[in-house]
């Protein structure tokens, strides 16, 4: 059974005892399921030579599809590169593919997005970033590795994948079975006081 199913089971056992016990204190003392997932995710830059199943890919895409977007405009599209030909082409657009068996290309269409009237801020990239984040976290839940890649050539993506024309490419997400532990940056985060301030 996966680590996450174990945690869910554990929490549901706690629920059954809730009427009699110190449930709130127990929950406060341990990470939530989500926080465990968020801690588990790390940037993966080395993948095993194992293909992903259709079910794994479909779960990851579904997580992105479920993501919220401004005014529910959903100005996001994802292209899945996993054939040898598509992987060879995506490899020409970035040095950060790391041999992943699947690369998700995440795009957004600003014309379809909600725009804040007061200052004209277009939320398309924000919506795409949320969808991409959901997909990374679903990959983690499936015990897969992923990396958010911002370092790519968007013009080359458009040239090699004409179906992406008219879309802004927000990131590439190489996904696969991890073949490395978290890197040093993963443990480096701002202190809580620096991250958030009470007003």
Ligand X SMILES: Cc1cc2nc3c(=O)[nH]c(=O)nc-3n(C[C@H](O)[C@H](O)[C@H](O)COP(=O)(O)O)c2cc1C
Q: Are 123 and 145 in contact (CB under 8 A)?
A: no
Q: How far apart (Å, rounded) are the C-alpha atoms in residues 52 and 46?
A: 15
Q: Which is nearer to ligand X, 90 or 149 (CB)?
A: 149
Least separation in angstroms between residue 98's CB and ligand X is 7
Residue 183 binds ligand X (CB under 6 A): yes
Residue 39 binds ligand X (CB under 6 A): no
- For residue 184, give Cα distances in angstroms to 37, 44, 98, 103, 117: 18, 12, 18, 24, 42
Q: How many residues bind ligand X (CB under 6 A)?
A: 13
How would DSSP label each residue in 5-40?
Answer: HHHHHHHHHHHHTTTTS-HHHHHHHS--HHHHHHHH
Least separation in angstroms between residue 27's CB and ligand X is 25
Q: Which is nearer to ligand X, 79 or 152 (CB)?
A: 152
Q: Are 171 and 99 in contact (CB under 8 A)?
A: no
Residue 150 binds ligand X (CB under 6 A): yes
> In this chain, which of 26, 151, 155, 166 binds ligand X, going by CB under 6 A?
151
Residue 170 binds ligand X (CB under 6 A): no
Least separation in angstroms between residue 14's CB and ligand X is 29
Least separation in angstroms between residue 94's CB and ligand X is 7
Give 16's contacts (C-beta < 8 A, 6+ positions apart): none
List the interface residues with ligand X, window 71-110 (CB under 6 A): 96
Strand locations in 60-150 (E): 76-81, 102-108, 145-146
Q: Which residues bind ligand X (CB under 6 A)?
A: 42-43, 45, 96, 147-151, 182-183, 185-186
């Amino acid at each position: 059974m996966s680590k996450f199913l174990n945690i869910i089971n554990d929490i549901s056992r706690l629920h059954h005892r809730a009427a009699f016990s110190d449930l709130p204190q127990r929950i406060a003392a341990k990470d939530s399921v989500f926080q465990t997932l968020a801690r588990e995710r790390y940037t993966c830059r080395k993948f095993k030579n194992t293909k992903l199943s259709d079910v794994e890919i479909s779960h990851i895409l579904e997580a992105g599809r479920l993501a919220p977007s401004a005014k529910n405009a959903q100005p996001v599209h994802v292209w899945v590169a996993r054939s040898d030909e598509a992987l060879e082409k995506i490899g020409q657009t970035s040095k950060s593919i790391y041999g992943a068996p699947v690369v998700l290309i995440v795009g957004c269409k600003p014309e379809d997005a909600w725009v804040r009237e007061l200052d004209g801020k277009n939320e398309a990239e924000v919506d795409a970033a949320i969808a991409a984040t959901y997909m990374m976290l679903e990959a983690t839940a499936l015990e897969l590795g992923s990396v958010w890649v911002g370092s790519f050539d968007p013009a080359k993506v458009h040239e090699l994948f004409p179906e992406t024309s008219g879309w802004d490419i927000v990131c590439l997400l190489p996904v696969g079975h991890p073949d490395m532990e978290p890197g040093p940056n993963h443990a480096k985060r701002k202190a809580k006081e620096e991250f958030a301030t009470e007003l």
